[in-house]
Structure formats: C-alpha cells, structure tokens
Amino acid sequence: MFGRESIGHGAALESTAGSVVDIFCGVGGLSHGFVLEGFDVRAGVDVDPSCRYAYERNNHARFIAKSVKDIDADFINDLYTPGEPTILVGCAPCQPFSTYSRKRSDEKWRLLAEFGRLAHEVQPDIVSMENVPRLRTFQRGKVYNEFLDTLTTSGYAVWEGVVDCAAYGVPQTRKRLVVLASRVGPIKLVQPTHGPLDQVTVRDTIAQLPPIPAGGRDSEDPLHCASGLSSLNLKRIRAAQEGGSWRDWDDELVADCHKEATGRWYGSVYGRMSWDAPAPTITTQCNGFGNGRFGHPEQDRAISLREAALLQTFPMSYEFLPPDQRCAIAPTARWIGNAVPVSLGRVIARSVRRTLLENGYA
C-alpha cells in the first residue's frame, strides 16, 4: 500500500539514508522533508486521525492514530527497517509554550517528556525535535532542560539552537527551536542557504496564483479558497496598506480593544503581508484576517489555504483531502499551521544525512 514508487507523484526516490519514525506527525510536513531527501520514512504517529489521508497519501508511510503516551520502545522498534540507521523525529504540540497561548498550565507540555522517554527507551541512532523558541524559558527552562538531560544521559551528543527559517529558504519570519541528537558522532545543523538580501518572499511564493475574492474558491484548485469577511472587516482590509495593520485605519474602523492601552501592543493583527518580504509565521488561524498579519498583500481578503500551504513550503502536489471531499477552511488551516515547514524538514534531514555519512552509517 505504501510503495515508494509513487512518492511525490514523480520518479522514484532511493531511500538509503536511514529509517524514520515521526512522532506528533500531523499531516506530514517534517516527514515529507525526510522523504524528499531520500530517507525511508516508515510511519507517523499522531493522536488526530483526521491527518491520516494527507500523511499516508503524500508520504506513503503508515499513519498510526495513537497517543505517544500509549506506545513503547518495542512498538517503535518494530516499525524500523532492519539494517538501516534509526531516526526518531517529532514536534510535540507547541501551543502550551507559544507566546500566543493563555493556557500556562496546559498538560500538553508533558508530551515532550513522553518524547524524551521514547528516545531513552528506543535508543535510535538520531533524534530530532522541533518546537517554538519559548520552550527554552517555559517554566524557567525546566521542561526543556529535562528533555536535554534525558538525551545527554542516554549517550547522545546534542546540538540545539533557534533557527531563522528564512535563512533556509522558508518564506516566513518563523523562528524555531531545533534539537539534533546523535549516538554515532557529533551533529549540528547545516549552514544557512539564504542571506538577508536573497530571502524567499511572499511574491516569490504566491504571486502566480489567480485572484479570488473573500469567501471565494478557485474552480481549478479546491485548496485555493479564502474565508469570507464581514462588511466591517471588508472596510478594514480596504483601508489597510501592504505591510500595514489596523494602525493605518481611520479611528472609526479601529476595534475598541485596540484603543485601550493594553491593545496597542497588538500591532500585527488585521494586517496585510508585504510582497517583497517573507510572510509572518503561519499559524493555525492563518485563514483569518483579524488573527495576525494574514491579509493578502493586495487582494481584499485573508490568504487562502493554498497560499498558506505554499508559505509552509508544501509542494503544490501535496494533497490534504481526498478529491471528492470538499475542503473545510478551519480544520485545514489548523493542519497547515501546525505543520513543520517542509523545507525546514529537508534541512534537518540533510543535517542527519551528513552526520551519518561522516560516521560511515549511510
């Protein structure tokens, strides 16, 4: 069912670099980065069964609808291909650590400890974890430092750092915390590929798509659809400049909450993207004009799901839903916003491959 011959809807890729299991896989952004770099992605594990179609269709790997708390080392080890280097990757749900989150006591942070438990029990050759930078300071670093301690006491050489995704060709001002851990030798992230003058921009990424109105859908691309706007928000976005926000508006358009002292800090909401700069971080609410700087640079609407997916560096060929299923905007935006950008996945995969090659494992 999951033969490698049709990955990417094109020529076959040789999977000789290592055997990968992806924890908290979602719809497969991180896995797809490894797939495109020629790794043997065996399975993705996620508690959300709605991610199954996209994950299996595009990565030709098994999707397992389970909580990480319900799996053990034997379960993971049975998924790997015998004789190949073993790689465990994942991005624990980041909402508890995000600056956008108000749920400071959210129990989801414990999932990172479960990921550390699996790394300790499975002892794969390589471990990679990706998350939001605030994880470093969440609960004064306790959660993160316990995770790092689990890796180092399990015999891993560890590299960690906050990565500017735009420096690796992702068209977003997205900063992510990346951990790489190796039992086969030293490991670190490959060098950046893009400088400040050659970053991939919003124009580079979405300008070729046909225009659609707020609430509209493209007849040829079901994913190219946008949320509707109220009459008030339509007036607001028409008043917003490219790269601007609610600060550009006449006073009668500004929401009452933004007139208060505390609301004046939220300068990036109700904003338009800039054509010739990377987009802001794509979130699970990227379909909403009022949720961030998610307005299209010139069309009077929020970005479409297709535009969000492209800004997350998913290929145009990536299928999120079966062809006969109508696209629902909110759940699809959640899948896209929760994903690791595919291009960042490729950077992590290249870093893993280099370490394996340098130590005679691939």
Same fold: 4-194+341-358 with 202-338: no
pLDDT recorded at residue 102? 45
pLDDT recorded at residue 258? 54
Q: Where are the domains of the chain?
A: 4-194+341-358, 202-338
Instruction: Look up the CATH number of domain 4-194+341-358.
Output: 3.40.50.150
Active-site residues, by number, are 94
pLDDT recorded at residue 16? 55
Among residues 179, 182, 69, which one has the least CA distance to residue 124?
182
pLDDT recorded at residue 250? 61
**Which three-class secondary structure string do you get for the chain?**
CCCHHHHHHCCCCCCCCCEEEEECCCCCHHHHHHHHCCCEEEEEEECCHHHHHHHHHHHCCEEEECCHHHCCHHHHHCCCCCCCCEEEEECCCCHHHCCCCCCCCCHHHHHHHHHHHHHHHHCCCEEEEEECHHHHCHHHHHHHHHHHHHHHHCCCEEEEEEEEHHHHCCCECCEEEEEEEECCCCCCCCCCCCCCCCCCCHHHHHCCCCCCCCCCECCCCCCCECCCCCHHHHHHHHHCCCCCCHHHCCHHHCCHHHHCCHHHHCCCCCCECCCCCCECCCCCCCCCHHHCCCECCCCCCECCHHHHHHHCCCCCCCCCCCCCCCCCHHHHHHHHHHCCCHHHHHHHHHHHHHHHHHCCCC
pLDDT digits (tens), the chain, 362 positions? 343 333 333 333 444 589 999 999 999 999 999 999 999 999 999 999 999 999 999 999 999 999 999 999 999 999 999 999 999 999 987 554 444 444 444 555 689 999 999 999 999 999 999 999 999 988 778 989 999 999 999 999 999 999 999 999 999 999 999 999 999 999 999 999 999 999 999 999 999 999 999 999 999 999 999 999 999 999 989 988 898 877 777 676 766 555 554 444 455 678 899 999 999 999 999 999 888 899 999 999 999 999 999 999 999 999 999 998 888 999 999 999 999 999 999 999 999 999 999 998 85
| Fold of domain 202-338 | DNA Methylase; Chain A, domain 2 (3.90.120)
pLDDT recorded at residue 2? 41
